[in-house]
Amino acid sequence: FAGLVSNRSLGPYSVSKAAVVSLAECLAKDLRDDGIGVSVLCPMRVTTDIDHSHRDRPAELGGPRVQVYADKESGSLEGRTLPVEQVGTLVVDAIRRNDLYILTHKETETFLSRRFDRIKRALFHAL
């Protein structure tokens, strides 16, 4: 999801995810004539251990004390946290349908709409 909508304090993370989305979009066009499908998973919150990935942060980068979200913030993040098993089933079904984008949460629509509205407003000033 961070590849589609950026969030504060996640610049490098969002940039890398946006690159993956862009690569998938390019590959989908490049490989279409060869009958090869491409799908990109853009999840919101899933029951993984990503919120504790700071534990592996090297000492020269701040060590394991650094967290993206404080524990109190983590509970107020947007969107439900989905079980890995449900997301896995969603992914397999989407690949079988040859869906390019795999979005896990209906809540994504609000954030995507806001982003596209900002982009459309910019067209007002385009030449």
- Report pLDDT digits (tens) over 22-39: 999 999 999 999 999 999
Cα Rg of the chain (Å, integer): 17
- Report pLDDT digits (tens) over 70-110: 544 444 456 788 999 999 999 999 999 999 999 999 999 99
Please count the other Cβ atoms lying within 10 Å of the Cβ belonging to residue 80: 12
Tell me the whole-structure pTM to 2 decimals.
Answer: 0.77
With H, G, I as helix, E, B as strand and everything else as coil, classify residue 84. helix
